[in-house]
Amino acid sequence: MKNCEDERLSLHRNQPDTTNLRSLNLIIWYHGSIAGSISLKNLDSNNQIIEIGHWLGTNYTSKGIMTRTVKRLCTLFFTKYKIRKINIFVVSDNLTSNQVPHRAGFYLEAKL
């Protein structure tokens, strides 16, 4: 995502999946302001796998916000929902975004 408008359009586009319980789109608030969003999508209930997508506004990067958010959601989905695997995809040339999975305990499985 490049900006808040891109994120708004993405959330609107993904909204229908919420009714089918295939995705969950959440807004990240930081000190009373919208800082970004995180989405859990493409639930594969047979294999208990889900994907994470995330976006954070440039004013909110390098504060640990996304790393904490990813860690907490992973804990929730591993414990309460018995998900066995969570995939997180990042843009390879976005260094800040690439640090989030690493800091949250993920490991690189493949580069696409």
Please name the amino acid found at residue 79. T
Mean pLDDT of 84-109: 89
Residue 97 placed within a domain: no
At 14 the pLDDT is 60
Radius of gyration of the chain (CA): 14
Residue 101 domain-assigned (yes or no):
no
**Does 108 reside within a domain?**
no
Residue 87, pLDDT > 90, answer yes
- Dump pLDDT digits (tens) for 20-63: 556 788 999 999 999 999 998 888 888 999 999 999 999 999 99
For residue 66, tell me if it sits in a domain. yes
CATH number assigned to the domain comprising residue 30 = 3.40.630.30
99 inside domain = no
Residue 105 belongs to a domain? no
Domain count along the chain = 1
- Give a yes or no: residue 83 inside a domain: yes
Distance CA 74, CA 83 (A): 9
Could you list the residue range(s) of the whole structural domain that residue 39 is in? 4-89
Domain membership of residue 100 (yes or no) is: no
Nearest CA among 93, 87, 92, 91 for reference residue 107? 87
pTM for the model: 0.77
Q: How many CB atoms lie within 10 A of CB 42?
A: 14
Quote the pLDDT of residue 110. Answer: 81
